[in-house]
Structure 1
């Protein structure tokens, strides 16, 4: 870990692994036994819970807490104020640490500012969760979800470009930025080879 890339006000507990080129900003706390990949950015006032795994190239904006049980795969973007939970039925007077549910945010997915991801959810690869959305069920790869509760409104490319395909049905589309082709079949979107 390069101490020049970790602000002096950040707290890094023992047993933490931080990859090359990762930057950690003001007032952040990385708890014991967490792993953070290469070339990540943890914004101001970020909390990384114990035993948490964060992949390479992840960008976590200000005021985000990534609790134990949450895994962020490579190239995930968490907008400012993204909220994660790890227990379905919390009570202050009952210890439920043994009930943490695994939450996975897939490679390249983006979570908009102030979105909320409930525990036990999987957000698929390259999915896009709109700002302020509340995700209460799994999100497929490349899906664009909006609202509270979040519902599929369409599909996006790896680059985050809206493909203009319907939420359900069968369709094909091309990313206007990269010219990559995508196919929607049986309500699932895949990039064509």
Structure 2
């Protein structure tokens, strides 16, 4: 679904169940897999070094938002990155590097401050590196600085 004042460029892929809130422009080279959320007034870039007097259409970088990821209001996604499955980008963050699946990212530049469940809840881990989502009792485990869904 699309809110008000949205623009979608050519060569954009938008999956099923994607929600694009008000005032979002999805530029050429962006791919949103299924169930992605794009918050109000979030921004994509498509060129690393734009200049008004130089045409750089051939230099557009691909940006991929994996299934179920969410981008908060007024966040900026710099071109060329991949946002992992079910990652959550906080409002106002500037993402300039790849984001791991289930990562919780905030700030300028964005940094990881934790992990979220598929439902978007912040996970609290026990001494064994395991967590349970209070929403649906799904279990997760930290392994080698990556979050694994275990049940």
SS in structure 2 of the partner of residue 88 of structure 1: coil
1:73-100 CA distances to partner (integer Å, 9 max, x unpaired)? 0000000001000100111111100011
CA separation in 2, counterparts of 1:100 and 1:182? 36
Q: Which residue in the other structure is 1:131 paired with?
A: 91
Q: Which has the higher contact order (CA 8 A, sep 6+)?
A: 2
Map 1:143-182 onto structure 2 (within 5 A): 143-165=103-125, 171-182=129-140
Count how many residue pairs are aligned between Structure 1 and Structure 2.
150
**Structure 1 runs, 4 residues or longer, greater than 4 Å off:** none
**CA-CA distance at 1:164 after TM superposition:** 2.1
CA separation in 2, counterparts of 1:145 and 1:164? 16
Structure with greater Cα Rg: 1
Q: What's the C-alpha RMSD, in Å, of the aligned pairs?
A: 1.2
Q: Normalising to structure 1: TM-score of the pair?
A: 0.76
Q: Is the 8 A contact 1:45 1:62 kept in 2?
A: yes
Q: Does 1:92 align with 2:52?
A: yes
Q: Normalising to structure 2: TM-score of the pair?
A: 0.96
Structure 2 unpaired stretches of 5+: none
Structure 1 unpaired stretches of 5+: 1-40
CA separation in 1, counterparts of 2:145 and 2:65? 20
CA separation in 2, counterparts of 1:121 and 1:53? 15
